[in-house]
Chain A
């Protein structure tokens, strides 16, 4: 379908070109199964005056096919220069290599190869750390590495961006027990290893597996709950969905201008706040990444938006949070790096001040129903708090609460803001994108817990 040029909204056409080099590693001690992948393609879209977006995606981003793509939508004349990326603005050497690879049909692999080798070395060392603490039946991991070059050409002109990172899910199991998983991630292996030395992390995971084996509590009821920063990103992430503009309009979403949390709660989404998976300089509509304050001292102040096009526009425009999973997809309003700002309380004191409750170290996954705001979180690793002390380990349990209850009942915010780089991929409307979540230690008064 070729849009009649008279029906186009001027400046509504844009082009998104992507080349991604990736590797997935299934690792066990002494064994690594490696899958390499090259994804390359271009997606273009334009809007008619009636508000319909017409989009096309091709899996060959060569200049010839890209030009044909623009012609097929009738928007070739709107873009003032060709779709070729400007190599001089691509800062990352690896991305530049990928670009050249895509154009010259010779995918670059050397740098990802080095990352694969470094990953295997890291995991072997981590496993040794685990084994110093516990005789694990299995220590295994899934690692994903990617490096992505983006070229976006629209009404604002042309921009290039490069993205990438490494993420690993490590699973440790002892005989007769369900495995314990940890998720870690960063910009690259070197960064990851300097932040989380493998032997130290291995020892920590081994200790956690040992604790869970020794004691098992099955909580059922309503508890004050302390969430530790590094592995509880799913909590804030699920709440964050309700600030995405398409969800914010539902009953479960938050209304701007209303108080939704105590004064010690400020929540921000800033795609450039933290280096790693999910970080970008420009969003997938070409808008500069910008910090958006969603909750300012307890008041709902903003939502995450995309630049709407055509007659459907409500005039607000985007604020740097348009993201797409690939060149085949249309942008959606998404989180990138969401964090709850640091508070003033000593994290240890928060635990000591809890007579009886739960201490959650890691959440496996979460889900939110945007219509009702109901949030469900699966606890991966947690403990009882008894008399202000962390005691028995919890068996897998489920937290169910409404987002407004969770936010409204936060009564302590710690000073120890940390980022959960391993928060993983968020999937919305079948589009997975990497995200980072940051928070300090917090305590909520109303958390309903079930142990299946």
Chain B
């Protein structure tokens, strides 16, 4: 049972005045005070305030310029023996607190009860300094975004690649501030800024010829500033991946090594993520039967400080817990996992990070920034060693993340005797989930980050014995 005594001060403090700022500590204290006034055992409030600008463009013109604000509040309470209630709302306002707490209490009425989660205890951490440390990107205005959009559209018009065309793209800048506070005295504030570019690129012939069946591709990249914004380079990066499989045909059914270029490798690791959670098939330690076989150098690390100069450093998770570097795979063996703070059987050292991508979702265990260690050789050297195989430039999983087998649509280039021979499209790749880690035989030196959810950085990976089937 949590001692209620320390929270008395919070109750009194919260009643002193009604705050007006949305993500203010004072508002959070008022929420906690209101909840504790209803005799809850444990309470937590999460506040988020954000805004973003987005410029969307087509090949010929800017199609939209959007400005959005997004602030919200999430309240979790536990009462009467661990009965949990959760409520979230847009636009946190002091006047709504009483009714939101009432909804959370009503929700808790349906819960059967159980052990309380292990939320972090005080002190107050992550003040203004922490918010700024996490902001690697400068503020960017709408006019800069407009200029960037025009430059990117222009880069596709001007580029000599010829085989590809821009279908649509966007440049988006956003910033958020979040604050999590609980009745155990913990208070953690953090902030983030990001600048993202997305380009949907297709083959030039699509739309006029049914032979041009190579699909479109979304290329997404995070930048650290507008200084890094070089539109011709971005256009080229997006284009080669599409052009690689332009006009591609399926391969006949076979089992071969495949080389996943960094973003395809990141898609594969993202699909594997549920397997790194406590309670899933991968067991910890070399002795476990389901653990993959050792692979020297196959190291997967959750590193909240990875590429800090571009993305800032993540200091706290969604429950206000400090996050730190954590090894998940060491030489191919599972040495770390992600466990929920609500799991009563999880060892303390495995708890977290508890990700909170939105105030609308409760926290859940998962990585902050996963990095698969690169090898020494560049991609071209890896490909030169392939007698027969497929370089995958696009991997779209069809089977559910973490399920027993990965089934994915892949596109890319067929390699024979180390040389690119022909484009490949409309091909299904199949491989078992757990076993696939032990089939990684080579890692490139070309580490790249992919931002579709938690950031995942991976190099080109060569994986042996993969089934390919024509679609």
Contact = CB atoms under 8 A, between A and B. Distances in A.
A252 B91 CA distance: 42
A369 B95 CA distance: 47
A376 interface: yes
Contact of B90 (A30, A39, A252): A39
B406 to A, nearest CB: 8
Interface string A7-25: 0000000000000000101
Nearest to B66: A55
Interface in B143-184: 143
Interface in A20-51: 23, 25, 30-41, 45, 50-51
B404 to A, nearest CB: 8
A328 interface: yes
B40 to A, nearest CB: 15
Given A58-B69, A371-B215, A378-B399, A116 B110 contact: yes
A105, A178, A367 interface centre (most CB from chain B within 10 Å): A105
Nearest to A448: B471
Interface string B183-226: 00000000000000000001000111110111110000000000
Contacts of B213: 251-252, 371-372
Nearest to B110: A32
A36 B103 contact: yes
Interface string B397-429: 011100011010100000000000000001010
Interface string B76-114: 000000001111111101011001101110111011100
Given A38-B88, A109-B103, A371-B215, A55 B67 contact: yes
A364 B202 CA distance: 29
Given A36-B107, A53-B64, A369-B215, A107 B96 contact: yes
Contacts of A67: none
A107 B89 contact: yes
B362 interface: yes
A57 B111 contact: no
Nearest to B104: A36
A35 B88 contact: yes
Contact of B91 (A1, A41, A106, A250): A41
B63 interface: yes
Interface of A: 1, 23, 25, 30-41, 45, 50-60, 105-107, 109, 113, 116-117, 120, 178, 249-252, 312, 328, 330, 364-365, 367, 369-372, 374, 376, 378, 398, 400, 448, 450, 452
6 contacts: A59-B72, A60-B90, A369-B215, A371-B202, A372-B213, A372-B215
Contact of B407 (A116, A249, A312, A452): A452
Nearest to A178: B404
Contacts of A31: 111-112
Nearest to B55: A52
B207 A53 contact: no
A40 B90 contact: yes
Contacts of A32: 110-112
B69 A52 contact: no
Given A1-B65, A251-B207, A33 B84 contact: yes
B61 interface: yes
Nearest to B65: A54
B214 A371 contact: yes
Contacts of A249: 207
B456 interface: no
A30 B111 CA distance: 9
Given A34-B110, A450-B428, A107 B71 contact: no
B280 interface: no
Contacts of A25: 110
B142 interface: yes
A37 B360 contact: yes
A59 B428 contact: no
Contacts of A41: 90-91
A296 to B, nearest CB: 23
A105 B90 CA distance: 12
Contact of A250 (B62, B102, B206): B206
B111 A106 contact: no
A105 B61 contact: no
A57 B67 contact: yes
A151 B277 CA distance: 43
Nearest to A34: B107
B70 interface: yes
A54 B66 CA distance: 6
A344 B412 CA distance: 45
A44 to B, nearest CB: 10
B382 interface: no
Given A33-B111, A378-B399, A52 B63 contact: yes
B471 A374 contact: yes
The 10 tightest CB contacts between A and B, nearest first, are A34-B107, A38-B89, A53-B64, A32-B110, A36-B87, A59-B90, A57-B68, A60-B91, A372-B213, A35-B86
